[in-house]
Structure 1
Amino acid sequence: MSLVGYARVSTTDQNLSIQYAALKSAQCKKIFSEKKSGTHKKGRTQLDACLDYLREGDTLIVTRVDRLSRSLRDLQNLAHDLKENGIHLKATEQPIDTSSAAGNAFFSMLGVFAEFETTLRKERQLEGIAKAKVQGKYKGRQPTARTKSDQVISLIKEGLTRQAVAEKLDIGIASVYRIIKEYMEANPTTTLPGSRSKIKIAKLDVSMNVENNSKFVRGKSKAREYIEDEWITQYDMFKPEKDGWDYILKVPYSSQKDLEETVYDIMSEAQSTADMKNCFAEINVTHKESGKHW
């Protein structure tokens, strides 16, 4: 039953010493630290190492929970993982200690606040888009992964893993899988390195809402159509109700990190598609098997 600390600052010109001293005072025997943005878990190698190090009965100690993540949805997923593995979470500067009865309420409240965060984010997005349009600056985001198809295939042939290719080209893992799938369909007699490796399939429950940015645009139906076409092609999409906004996607993955990267890519690409049609998309994803929510 070890006390393990994690410290993080967002930029290289910030100092970790204050957090480090607080964690030492809390009797942490081992401390992981890094200088990295805390929007979500992606790319935070020391946090990954810390989570791998923790064992059942251990306590993860931070100065404040926003050191773990500034996204409530990510924090909820992380808290769920800790609880599932019998690991407690404690903050030195906040009344958070999940080894107590009050701490269990913390887990429940995270879900409520995560939904609140989603609503606020959508409102800010709409306000930002409206302001940009008034200033004549709004153009929407353009997808870039397809322009890197040749590079993806070339790197795969060199022996890089799917995840390594995604990181090297700064695209989502789902885009890598899609490009490989399209390449294999066009070249059925070709075998790419790793194409026969065993992967798992995650069944994701997705709830989506697409709305026009204003009453003067009519892109909602087209945006939904394009998003659904993409999901059918990539993830064997199924709709429980023909006219509903709930979906089931089958997503290939080889690790939990791989799955999270794919989910972020699914959400980002759908929002990009909606943007190009002068709409916004709100998406919630659940993986019931692991209890994760995005």
Structure 2
Amino acid sequence: MLIGYARTSTLEQEAGFEAQLRELTAHGCEKLFREQVSSVAPRKQLEAALEFAREGDALVVTKLDRLARSVVHLGQIIGTLEAKGVTLRILNLGVDTATPTGKLMLNVLGGVAQFEREMMLERQREGIAKAKAEGAYKGRKPTVRARSEEIRALAAEGLSMGAIATKLGIGKGSVHRVLNPAMPVRT
């Protein structure tokens, strides 16, 4: 059985998400696992796909970066798949671990992908450092101070910290800092 896995990092990537699903379906995937979550967050659907796979199945992804966050993570996934007798196919690379060449290519490409990601992060850090030195980097806008009155009003209505956090789309700790004056409010 061909098992498809699709992932995007954010809800704003809807077109890319739909494209992945179309491609996996066109490739013949009979079962699809899908999620919109950051690569560093827990990925319940990936875990479910790995659990679902049985000997002789193939896990199919459209791109390597939709599956693994690093070479180590890729190795863990491949180890899990191999232990179950499941192969991996990466469509845009034409890689299929059912063949020795496919296994070799996956290892080489995984290393190149991690190198590329590390280089991108290094350039990003350099750009932020340069912007800070020039006084152009301000960081993200503070959310808690701007919503302090709203938080206090909801608390006065009897909402719990968790309910306030959920309603406003902010962290529970942020709500706690506003409602507990002994704790400093972060900007």
Instruction: Give TM-score, length-normalised by structure 1.
Output: 0.40
- Residue 91 of structure 1 aligns to which amino acid in structure 2? I
CA distance in 2, matches of 1:111, 1:84: 20
| SS in structure 2 of the partner of residue 60 of structure 1 | strand
Cα deviation, residue 50, structure 1: 0.9
Q: Does the 8 A contact of 1:80 with 1:107 survive in 2?
A: no
| SS in structure 1 of the partner of residue 11 of structure 2 | coil
Query: Residues 148-173 of structure 1: CA distance to partner in whole angstroms, max 9, x if unpaired?
Result: xxxxxxxxxxxxxxxxxxxx989xxx
Cα deviation, residue 122, structure 1: 6.4
CA distance in 1, matches of 2:22, 2:113: 31
The corresponding residue for 1:79 is 78
**Tell me, which stretches of 5 or more residues in structure 2 are unaligned?**
140-170, 174-187
Q: 1:120 to 1:84 in 2, by over 3 A?
A: farther
Q: Mapping of 1:52-67 within 5 angstroms?
A: 52-67=51-66
Q: Does the 8 A contact of 2:4 with 2:29 survive in 1?
A: yes
Q: Does the 8 A contact of 1:72 with 1:117 survive in 2?
A: no
CA distance in 2, matches of 1:35, 1:10: 5
CA distance in 1, matches of 2:95, 2:133: 44
CA distance in 2, matches of 1:117, 1:12: 24
Query: Residues 62-116 of structure 1: CA distance to partner in whole angstroms, max 9, x if unpaired?
Result: 2222221354443343234323432211123331111112111124315632662
Q: Mapping of 1:55-204 within 5 angstroms?
A: 55-110=54-109, 112-113=111-112, 116-117=115-116, 120=119, 123-124=122-123, 127-128=126-127, 130-136=129-135
- Residue 97 of structure 2 aligns to which amino acid in structure 1? T
| SS in structure 2 of the partner of residue 4 of structure 1 | strand
Please identify which structure carries the higher helix content: 2
- The answer to whether 1:30 aligns with 2:34 is no
- The answer to whether 1:11 aligns with 2:10 is yes
Q: Does the 8 A contact of 1:88 with 1:98 survive in 2?
A: yes
Cα deviation, residue 33, structure 1: 0.9
Q: 1:103 to 1:9 in 2, by over 3 A?
A: same
CA distance in 1, matches of 2:58, 2:96: 9
| SS in structure 1 of the partner of residue 88 of structure 2 | strand
Query: Residues 209-230 of structure 1: CA distance to partner in whole angstroms, max 9, x if unpaired?
Result: xxxxxxxxxxxxxxxxxxxxxx
The corresponding residue for 1:51 is 50
CA distance in 2, matches of 1:128, 1:67: 26
Cα deviation, residue 129, structure 1: 5.3
**Tell me, which stretches of 5 or more residues in structure 1 are unaligned?**
140-167, 171-294
Q: Does the 8 A contact of 1:72 with 1:113 survive in 2?
A: no
Query: Residues 169-228 of structure 1: CA distance to partner in whole angstroms, max 9, x if unpaired?
Result: 89xxxxxxxxxxxxxxxxxxxxxxxxxxxxxxxxxxxxxxxxxxxxxxxxxxxxxxxxxx
| SS in structure 2 of the partner of residue 93 of structure 1 | helix
Cα deviation, residue 17, structure 1: 3.3
- Residue 80 of structure 2 aligns to which amino acid in structure 1? D
Q: 1:128 to 1:17 in 2, by over 3 A?
A: closer
Q: Does the 8 A contact of 1:89 with 1:97 survive in 2?
A: yes
Count of matched residue positions in the alignment of Structure 1 and Structure 2: 139
Q: 1:118 to 1:22 in 2, by over 3 A?
A: closer
Q: 1:98 to 1:123 in 2, by over 3 A?
A: same
Give me the identity figure in percent: 39
CA distance in 2, matches of 1:130, 1:99: 45
